[in-house]
Homo-oligomer: A and B are copies of this chain.
Amino acid sequence: MWQIVIYMFSKACEYGIKASIFIAFSSYNGTRVSLKAIAKEINSPEAFTAKILQDLVRHDVVSSTKGAYGGFEIEKTLISSIKLSHIVNAIDGDAIYSGCGLGLHICDEDHPCPVHHKFKSVREELKDMLENTNLEELALNIKSGASFLKV
């Protein structure tokens, strides 16, 4: 038996979000984490995860240190200010969650696609959620065992 699932995010985004949460979690303990440790923790392919982390570094979502004892971290005071939307934007570009559900170039109140109004609240809720959920709360839930990064 198998199931097909509709994903909200690309694999790249999934890995990016999970990696960021784990880095935030570790940074609270003052520990820098290596690519290897991240990939193991979030159960992702190492080399691909490396690419995504490079994106996140370029966009200042996380910071990196090269060399032995190097790795990735997030400055403690910044953790609560990083929203899911920052991560998604860093990876998938300046995303517009309000893009037309059916791919019309123009889709607004005046010229709506067939599902424009139907989707309105879903889109808005998604946007709102991404823009208001920060890394701190997500990391704390990992710490307390309230949520999990793999399996």
Q: Which of B14, B113, B129, B151 has a CB less than 8 Å from the CB of A122?
A: B129
Q: Which residues between 7 and 62 of chain A lie within 8 Å of chain B, taking CB atoms?
A: 7-9, 11, 14, 17-18, 21
* Closest residue of B by beta carbon distance from A139: B114
Question: Contact between A11 and B99 (Cβ–Cβ < 8 Å)?
Answer: no
Question: Contact between A113 and B5 (Cβ–Cβ < 8 Å)?
Answer: no
Residues of B within 8 A of A142 (CB): 114
Question: Contact between A93 and B125 (Cβ–Cβ < 8 Å)?
Answer: no
A78 in the interface, Cβ–Cβ < 8 Å?
no
Q: Please state the number of chain copies in the assembly.
A: 2
Q: How far is the CB of A134 from chain B (nearest CB, A)?
A: 11
A77 in the interface, Cβ–Cβ < 8 Å?
no
Q: How far is the CB of A48 from chain B (nearest CB, A)?
A: 13
A residues apposed to B, CB below 8 Å: 3-9, 11, 14, 17-18, 21, 84, 88, 92-97, 99-106, 111-116, 118-119, 121-122, 125-126, 129, 133, 138, 141-142, 146-151
Apart from A104-B151, A118-B129: 14 A-B pairs, beta carbons within 8 A? A4-B94, A6-B88, A6-B95, A6-B99, A11-B103, A14-B101, A14-B102, A14-B103, A18-B102, A105-B151, A112-B146, A113-B147, A114-B148, A122-B125
